[in-house]
């Protein structure tokens, strides 16, 4: 590196001793920064100046009368809102044609036209018409690329203001109507609460009374069951007596029949037996009346007991009906004040109780019908028995009263009358016997009815127990509801309802017009747009600065004051000077950015990032330019062209096409911009150091290109310099290094000059024959292929793909022509090599060995040059040395030849 530092010192002194060169160097250090500064200032905050962007507004709206809202003119609302809005330069024009013509002429960037029926179209939505109202929006996209995006924000502003204003007016009106409808609700709410609490308390008391009534009915049912049991016992006794009654009546009838027979047979003896007959009749009358009295008493007693049971059942049925009515009234009241789970549970319980009481009432009514039938039968039996008693008494009385005149009219009157009376008594007795015989069945039926009644009363008792519990539970739930109603006023929701009823209509309208407010919470905030684009424009300026360096200063190093030096030493010697100027560029640019007032959380980190970026960019551009000359400079331009859209300096990389998204991680700008963003807006983790380290990795390929690949590109660079210099129009720089041949080629020429010459000349002759054809075909392809791809680019949808193919075709065809021309040039150079003498070949081999980069062989001790060999031959000692050197040379030549043969031939 000593030679490199000597070159750097010499070049620096040359600049400092020349005032003009110093002035140019200062300009080179400052001018790239102007590119960054002007763009940063121009983009400092462009959206603050949108108020001067002229936008035409024509409002033709006539307004409309809207139900419940009155007359509204949305156009006037838009006018008032835009007059206060300073986001854009709103210009109000009466004529629509004038506004549209102004947009076409470029006087206005856009125009908004509000039609005459705009308000009516808005109001139609209240009638169920969902068709949207329309505003005509004219925009001149030719006038400017960014202006349509700015005017689009204006259209959004108008749309938002229309929506907000219309919703606000409608919301305000609805709120006023709501307040009018509920104006007394708040004052009546307390009274309604008290009334509801009182009603609930009253209903609970009624349910308690109903439960008490049900408990009392339980006692009545118990008494009724006891009465039924007693009635069944009485009926059993009556049944037993009814059997004896029938037998007694039968015996009596038999006696009457016998008496009649005797009376008939002994009519003649009646007179003598009159006293005996009267006694017998009296005895029979007493016995019959006694038996009939017993029957009548028993039947009457049974009828009384049965009527008492019927009265008990009727009272029970009345109590059941009262219970059913009370339950129905409680249920109706619960439904009227319902709305919660307690009311639903009470209603369900009462419905179940009503179903049970309905079944109980139906069963009681059926039992009453059966008992009434039995009672009616017993009463009819009592009437029959009473009639029988009356008949017997009348007959006996008649018989007794007729005894006195029996003697007188025995033959003509008494006997027929007696027979008639006996016949009547016999008929009546027959009926009485029939009645007595049917009495057990009737009593059995009455006993069955009483048994069924007892079962029904038992079921009623169970049901009333359940009903009493349900009613008491319902009363407890109603008490709980009453407590909830009493406490509802202090509840948070109740307070919220009263607050809503007291809302201001204007506040409601404003809330509906804008129900949400966005809270801006920036992360790593940037003060202005200029600070945001500073990393991009600064990186671009540093790249341009590096490109200016390779365009202004020579890349090839002369040997004046230095002597011989290796190619890599010359590379680093000139790079040290360019890097120094590049660092000055970076410091000036970054410090100037800070002086402009950009946001910068760490100025030192910002300047350091700029210096690292300049270090990498200058090295990369210099390496490309030294290795590829004009092609390298073109590659430098191509890289900056790709990095402008591909490094996400202005827009998020996700907004770019997929090609640039894939390219983004491979571009130096990506990491340079990210590092500066960290220094400007704030650091996150180790992102700052990470980006700078990745940026330094680009030095590795740059070093390989500038030092290693350069040697192998000398021939093609010489070709370009010579061909471009022949035009006398393009600036070229002669390469400081000599033409390059591979060591194997030189050794092959030294070892077997004649054979090498013959073989090469034969190959060269064949290439010269095809060379013109290759050139013609290359130029033809250079015209036809890009033209075809250009046509396809206009007729297919894949325009970007066609564009890439068009560029690639140009590169491939141009590369083909360059390779053909390079081979043609190399043929001429190797022709000269084949005609060169051995002394010249040895000198060329010596130069190649000495210019090796990082050579490990003892090159300096090898004696291949002509002067050394000649001096050794002159003093007589050189033969051995020469022989040894010759042996070394032969060995090297043989090794190189083997190497050449393994590679498959010469260049």
- Write the pLDDT tens digit of every residue in 845-876: 666 666 554 444 444 444 444 454 455 444 44
Q: Which two tokens stand for residue 525?
A: 């905030």
Q: Which residues contact 840 (CB under 8 A, 6 or more apart)?
A: none
Look at residue 633 and tell me whether its pLDDT is greater than 80. Answer: yes
Could you please report the per-residue DSSP string of 348-382?
HHHHHHHHHHHHHHHHHHHHHHHHHHHHHHHHHHH
Look at residue 685 and tell me whether its pLDDT is greater than 80. Answer: yes
Locus of tokens 């260049």:
907
Report for 186-200, 643-657, 725-739: range of highest mean pLDDT: 643-657
What pLDDT score was predicted for residue 718?
Answer: 59
Q: Which two tokens stand for residue 647?
A: 């490094």
- Give pTM, 2 decimals: 0.52
Q: What is the pLDDT of residues 455-505, one digit of tens each?
A: 776 666 676 666 666 656 666 665 666 665 555 555 444 555 455 555 555
The CATH class of 48-181 is alpha beta
Look at residue 885 and tell me whether its pLDDT is greater than 50. Answer: no
Buried b (16+ CB within 10 A) or exposed e, 349-375: bbeebbebbeebbebbeebbebbbebb
Q: Would you tell me how many other CB atoms lie within 10 Å of the CB of residue 3?
A: 18
Q: What is the pLDDT of residues 56-106, one digit of tens each?
A: 899 888 888 777 667 878 788 878 877 887 777 888 998 889 989 998 888
What are the φ/ψ torsions at residue 879 (nearest 5 degrees)? -65, -50
Dist. CA 800–CA 662, nearest whole Å: 15
> Nearest Cα to 401, choosing from 289, 278, 283?
278
Look at residue 899 and tell me whether its pLDDT is greater than 50. Answer: no
What pLDDT score was predicted for residue 890?
Answer: 38
Q: Which two tokens stand for residue 398?
A: 């008649």
The residue among 269 and 497 whose pLDDT is bigger is 269
What pLDDT score was predicted for residue 809?
Answer: 86
> Nearest Cα to 550, choosing from 446, 636, 422?
636
Look at residue 351 and tell me whether its pLDDT is greater than 60. Answer: yes
Q: Residue 825 in contact with residue 719, Cβ under 8 Å? A: yes
What pLDDT score was predicted for residue 655?
Answer: 79
Domain ranges in the chain? 2-43+528-698+715-740, 48-181, 223-307+333-465, 743-907
pLDDT band (50, 70, 90) for residue 882:
very low
- How would you classify residue 561: left for phi > 0, otherwise alpha for psi between -120 and 50, otherwise beta? left
Dist. CA 524–CA 225, nearest whole Å: 94
Q: What is the mean pLDDT of the chain?
A: 70
What pLDDT score was predicted for residue 816?
Answer: 83
What's the rounded mean pLDDT across residues 382-397?
57
Look at residue 906 and tell me whether its pLDDT is greater than 50. Answer: no
Look at residue 731 and tell me whether its pLDDT is greater than 90. Answer: no
């Amino acid at each position: 590196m000593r030679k490199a530092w000597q070159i750097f010192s010499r070049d620096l002194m040359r600049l400092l001793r020349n005032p003009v060169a110093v002035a140019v160097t200062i300009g080179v250090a400052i001018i790239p920064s102007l590119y960054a500064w002007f763009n940063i200032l121009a983009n400092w905050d462009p959206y603050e100046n949108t108020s001067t962007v002229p936008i035409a507004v024509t409002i033709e709206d006539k307004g409309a009368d809207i139900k419940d809202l009155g007359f509204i003119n949305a156009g006037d609302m838009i006018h008032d809102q835009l007059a206060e809005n300073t986001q854009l330069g709103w210009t109000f024009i009466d004529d629509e044609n004038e506004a549209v013509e102004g947009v076409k002429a470029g006087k206005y960037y856009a125009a908004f036209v509000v039609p005459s029926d705009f308000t009516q179209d808005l109001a139609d939505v209240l009638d169920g018409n969902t068709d949207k109202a329309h505003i005509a929006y004219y925009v001149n996209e030719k006038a400017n690329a960014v202006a349509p995006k700015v005017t689009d924000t204006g259209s959004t502003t108008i749309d938002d203001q229309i929506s907000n204003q219309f919703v606000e007016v409608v919301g305000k009106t609805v709120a006023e109507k709501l307040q009018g409808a509920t104006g007394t609700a708040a004052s009546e709410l307390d009274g309604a609460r008290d009334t509801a609490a009182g009603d609930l308390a009253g209903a609970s008391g009624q349910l308690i009374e109903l439960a008490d009534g049900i408990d009392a009915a339980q006692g009545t049912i118990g008494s009724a069951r006891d009465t039924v049991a007693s009635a069944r016992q009485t009926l059993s006794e009556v049944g037993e007596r009814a059997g004896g009654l029938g037998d007694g009546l039968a015996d009596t009838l038999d006696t009457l029949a016998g008496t009649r027979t005797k009376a008939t047979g002994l009519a003649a003896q009646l007179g003598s037996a009159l006293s005996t007959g009267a006694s017998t009749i009296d005895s029979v009358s007493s016995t019959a009346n006694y038996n009939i009295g017993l029957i009548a008493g028993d039947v009457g007693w049974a009828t009384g007991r049965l009527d008492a049971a019927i009265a008990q059942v009727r009272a029970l049925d009345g109590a059941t009906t009262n219970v059913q009515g009370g339950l129905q009234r409680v249920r109706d009241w619960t439904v009227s004040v319902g709305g919660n789970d307690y009311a639903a549970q009470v209603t369900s319980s009462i419905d179940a109780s009503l179903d049970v009481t309905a079944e109980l009432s139906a069963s009681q009514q059926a039992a009453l019908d059966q008992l009434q039938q039995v009672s009616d039968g017993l009463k009819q039996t009592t009437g029959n028995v009473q009639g029988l008693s009356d008949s017997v008494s009348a007959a006996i009385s008649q018989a007794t009263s007729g005894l006195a005149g029996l003697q007188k009219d025995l033959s003509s009157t008494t006997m027929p009358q007696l027979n008639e009376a006996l016949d009547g008594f016999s008929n009546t007795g027959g009926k009485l016997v029939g009645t007595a015989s049917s009495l057990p069945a009737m009593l059995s039926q009455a006993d069955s009815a009483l048994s069924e009644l007892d079962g029904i009363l038992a079921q009623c008792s169970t049901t009333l127990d359940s009903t009493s519990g349900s009613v008491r539970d319902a009363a407890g739930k109603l008490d709980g509801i009453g407590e909830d109603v009493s406490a509802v006023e202090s509840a948070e929701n109740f307070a919220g309802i009263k607050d809503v009823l007291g809302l201001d209509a204007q506040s409601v309208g404003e809330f509906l017009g804008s129900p949400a407010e966005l809270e801006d919470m920036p992360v790593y905030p940037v003060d202005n747009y200029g600070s945001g684009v500073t990393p991009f424009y600064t990186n671009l300026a540093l790249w341009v600065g590096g490109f200016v360096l390779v365009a202004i200063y020579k890349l090839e190093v002369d040997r004046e004051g230095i002597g011989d030096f290796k190619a890599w030493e010359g590379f680093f010697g000139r790079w040290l000077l360019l890097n120094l100027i590049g660092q000055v560029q970076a410091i000036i640019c970054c410090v100037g950015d800070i002086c402009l007032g950009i946001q910068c959380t760490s100025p030192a980190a910002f300047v350091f990032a700029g210096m690292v970026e300049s270090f990498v960019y200058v090295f990369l551009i210099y390496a490309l330019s030294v290795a590829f000359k004009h092609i390298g400079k073109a590659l430098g331009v191509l890289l900056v062209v790709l990095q402008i859209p591909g490094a996400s300096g202005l827009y998020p990389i996700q907004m770019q096409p997929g090609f640039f998204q894939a390219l983004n991680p491979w571009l130096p700008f990506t990491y340079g911009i990210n590092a500066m963003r960290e220094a400007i807006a704030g650091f996150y983790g180790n992102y700052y150091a990470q980006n700078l380290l990745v940026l330094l990795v680009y030095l590795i390929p740059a070093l390989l290109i500038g030092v290693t690949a350069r040697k192998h590109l000398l021939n093609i660079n010489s070709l370009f310099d010579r061909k471009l210099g022949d035009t006398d129009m393009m600036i070229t720089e002669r390469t400081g290094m000599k033409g390059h041949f591979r060591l194997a080629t030189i050794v092959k020429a030294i070892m077997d000059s004649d054979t090498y010459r013959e073989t090469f000349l034969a190959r060269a002759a064949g290439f010269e024959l095809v060379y013109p054809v290759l050139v013609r075909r290359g130029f033809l392809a250079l015209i036809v292929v890009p033209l075809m791809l250009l046509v396809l680019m206009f007729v297919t949808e894949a325009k970007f793909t066609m564009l890439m193919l068009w560029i690639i075709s140009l590169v491939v065809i141009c590369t083909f022509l360059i390779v053909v021309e390079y081979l043609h040039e190399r043929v001429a150079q190797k022709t000269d090599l084949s005609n060169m003498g051995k002394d010249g070949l040895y000198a060329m081999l010596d130069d190649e060995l000495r210019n090796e980069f990082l050579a490990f062989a003892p090159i300096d001790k090898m004696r291949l040059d002509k002067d050394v060999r000649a001096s050794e031959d002159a003093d007589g000692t050189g033969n051995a040395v020469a022989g040894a050197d010759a042996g070394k040379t032969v060995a090297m030549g043989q090794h190189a030849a083997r190497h050449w043969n393994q590679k498959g031939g010469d260049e």
